[in-house]
Amino acid sequence: MSRRVVVTGMGAVTPLGLDCESTWENLIAGKSAASTIRQFDAEGFPVRIACEVGDFDVQKFIDKRQARKMDPSTRYGVAAAIMAWKDSRMDEGDFDPDRVGVVIGSGVGGIQTLEDQHSVLMEKGPRRISPYFIPMLIADMPSGAASITLGLKGPNYATVSACASGAHAIGDAFRAVQRGEADAMVTGGTEAAVCPMSLAGFAAMKAISSRNDEPERASRPFDKERDGFVLGEGAGIVLLEELEHAKARGARIYAEVTGYGCTGDAYHMTAPAPEGEGMARAMRAALADASIDADRVDYVNAHGTSTELNDKYETTALKAVFGEHAKKLAVSSTKSMVGHLLGAAGGVELIFTALAVQNGVIPPTINYEFPDPECDLDYTPNDARELRIEHALTNSFGFGGHNAVLALRRFEG
| pLDDT tens string 130-154 | 999 999 999 999 999 999 999 999 9
For the segment 286-293, the average pLDDT, to the nearest whole number, is: 98
Question: Could you report the per-residue pLDDT of 165-217, keeping only the tens digit for each?
Answer: 999 999 999 999 999 999 999 999 999 999 999 999 999 999 999 999 999 99
pLDDT in tens, 246-263: 999 999 999 999 999 999
Q: How far apart are CA 70 and CA 190, in angstroms?
A: 13
* Catalytic annotation, pick one of 20, 51, 163, 262: 163
Task: Quote the CA–CA distance of 234 and 18 in Å, as a whole number.
Answer: 9
- Cβ proximity of 303 and 395 under 8 Å: yes
Residue-level pLDDT at 330:
98
Contact (CB, 8 A) for 314 and 303? yes
Q: What is the mean pLDDT of residues 70-94?
A: 96
Q: Which of 303, 375, 391, 402 is catalytic?
A: 303
Q: Is 20 an active-site residue?
A: no
Question: Could you say which of 168, 195, 262, 340 is catalytic?
Answer: 340
The pLDDT value given to residue 413: 76
For residue 293, pLDDT over 70 is answered with: yes
Calculate the average pLDDT of the chain: 97
Taking the C-alpha atoms of residue 316 and residue 296, their distance in angstroms, rounded to an integer, is 19
The per-residue pLDDT for range 31-68, each reduced to its tens digit, is 999 999 999 999 999 999 999 999 999 999 999 999 99
According to DSSP, the residues that pair with 232 across neighbouring strands are: 51
φ, ψ dihedrals at 57, nearest 5°: -105, 100
pTM for the full predicted model: 0.97
Give the per-residue pLDDT at 62: 94
**Cα 336 to Cα 85, 149, 288, 344, 383, distances in angstroms:** 28, 33, 29, 15, 12
Backbone angles phi, psi at 367, to 5 degrees: 65, 20
Give the whole-number percent of the chain exceeding pLDDT 70.
100
Answer whether residue 123 shows pLDDT above 90.
yes
Average pLDDT estimate for 2-7: 94
Q: DSSP for 256-271, please give it.
A: EEEEEEEEE--S-SSS
Looking at residue 1, its pLDDT comes to: 63
Structural domains of the chain, with CATH: 5-248 (3.40.47.10), 258-409 (3.40.47.10)
CA distance 52 to 195: 10
Confidence class of residue 15 from pLDDT cuts 50, 70 and 90?
very high
Question: What is the phi/psi pair of residue 170, to 5°?
Answer: -65, -40
Q: What is the pLDDT of residue 211?
A: 97
CB atoms inside a 10 Å sphere around CB 23: 26
Q: State the average pLDDT over residues 308-316.
A: 98
CA 340 to chain centre: 8
pLDDT level of residue 2 (50, 70, 90 thresholds): confident
Examine the residue annotation and report whether 402 is marked as an active-site residue of this protein: no
Per-residue confidence (pLDDT) for residue 376, from 0 to 100: 97
Question: Do residues 409 and 256 lie in contact, with contact meaning Cβ atoms separated by under 8 Å?
Answer: yes
DSSP 218: T
Asked if residue 412 has pLDDT above 90, the reply is no
pLDDT at 93: 87
